[in-house]
Chains A and B, each alone.
Chain A
């Protein structure tokens, strides 16, 4: 460990789960943990009991949840919903079997996914609208309120109202935009970029740019704090946490949490407190309190076992994680 004081360990509170495939995403469906796996399976785990179903014939590329169902997109060109119980149900299928590497859900149950250069959006009544883009759509995210979708792509992010004929608003910034995230208050849109940076826009009549640069790698994991005032990101040897109070991070320095000689691969803020789970490419997991930078060890470094997924349950009592070498675990925070 490179930290000055050895972190207090939470290791004995972790229950391991043997998975056997790269964990693409983890999500809680109430008290059931659903792990989306790169071999096409979804593993459901509940109180130590695990079973798996196979929603995709190939591999799972993307996953999201509304807390009830796990929605997965696969390299078999299908979008499938898997509940806490029962068999998976297909929602959509691409006739050309193209990869679906982005899926997203809104709070009201709208669903969007990509195929090739097209984005499909299905509202809560099941009506599907599709829109073709000039360059391949990558990350997708709905606005926290209203039926509006952000689409990360080449040289910017499009904001699309699927139920209107209006041309999407294009937030332009040169480069390739990968993932996109909307702030909980709806004021900010932030994308991760191929060029090892985050780019943000403060929305309004005239959106203003926010450049967040200096990453040694692509910041592919982003997480808002519960109060929406901080945005944590991966892509460096520490979690980089940007302040979003007031006008946003422009001109302010980010906080760096959990600096180690390893690359941060996943970050996930606790749903109720300023506590950040940080996963590294060497397999280590730390839990860091933002207020005093105190660190707790959740998982020691394990070679070849880089962290690929995190999921806090709704109340923030349990943290699930998954790794590239097919291991997962659930940390239950000790009471008090």
Chain B
């Protein structure tokens, strides 16, 4: 099997600067060739490279999993692109401003042909410092895009005061403290901060500490999308944990946007690492715990209307 082609998903609310970022990626002198899948072909003014128009056709897999939606057009386009291996080094998928990133991400886990040929590298979300606070109030899509992101570009920071910037940053962090956050004007940032992130690679989920150390106390009353993390200082019992996480994913999958975990299983020298998108869980025993690492078990959920105390109770009951 040859090397899998990395795919970067670019999301962001209307007007946040997605096209600016895309053009920056494509024109910068990095020696890479991209295939770009855009949602409104011919209207974005993107040239060079291999540009393909997509129609964002989302469908529900007939596999009994109610939130298992995938992008049918993406499966077809990637199948076509894979016949032209060697013409490009990486793929960028641009979504519309109103798109839910979940079906795009799930496509890479659900479709075997897509998963064999490509790997989801990261979800990059472009946000507008001036308008995000407003959008978070009136647009659930904007919230989803923040919640889903591995990399967040807080753009147009030159248009806001330091106070407004702090406010919007706090709003982002309340939803997703784990993404890498870059503050930019005109999406100016080194491209290597966007590409080759390996955010979905189980081997690279080395650390799920928040990128942002929460200082003080945040109030989340108005934010139904937020993150939570739980830690068991020690081992968990896989015979308790596996059924529990499966049940939670089935029952609350529609509300869980992303999940990640690094766990110490009783009598198991290797770390168990998993990640999830809605109901879809992808997990494996990975490398050995190192001598200088504490065998802690940690779990992160980012989701909507999740019952934190219930989840905490459930997880803590999995302790070995």
Contacts and interface: CB of A to CB of B under 8 A. Distances in A.
B305 interface: no
Interface residues of A, number: 28
A75 B41 CA distance: 13
Interface string A154-198: 100000000000000000001110000000000000000111000
Contact of A195 (B52, B61, B72): B61
Contacts of A39: 84
Interface stretch (A94-102, A143-151, A240-248): A94-102
B83 A324 contact: yes
Contacts of B2: 304
Interface in A37-64: 38-39, 59, 61
Given A96-B41, A217-B113, A138 B76 contact: yes
Interface in B67-96: 72-73, 75-77, 80, 83-85
Interface of B: 1-2, 41-42, 52-53, 55, 57, 59, 61-63, 72-73, 75-77, 80, 83-85, 111-113
Contact of A38 (B42, B55, B59, B84): B84
A136 interface: yes
Contacts of B57: 135-136, 154
A298 interface: no
A24 interface: yes
A176 B83 contact: no
Contacts of A217: 112-113
A175 B112 contact: no
Given A175-B62, A217-B113, A194 B72 contact: yes
A22 interface: yes
Given A194-B111, A218-B113, A176 B84 contact: no
The 8 closest A-B pairs by CB, nearest first: A175-B62, A38-B83, A22-B83, A174-B62, A38-B84, A195-B62, A61-B80, A59-B84
Q: Give the dominant DSSP class at B's interface.
A: loop
Contacts of A22: 83-85
B90 to A, nearest CB: 18
A116 interface: yes
Interface in A89-115: 96-99, 101
Contacts of A116: 55
Given A154-B59, A218-B113, A194 B76 contact: no
Contact of B83 (A24, A96, A97, A98): A24
Q: Give the dominant DSSP class at A's interface.
A: loop
A129 interface: no
Contacts of A13: none
Contacts of B52: 75, 99
B186 to A, nearest CB: 30
Contacts of B59: 135, 154, 176
Interface in A113-131: 116-117
A61 B77 CA distance: 10
A38 B72 CA distance: 21
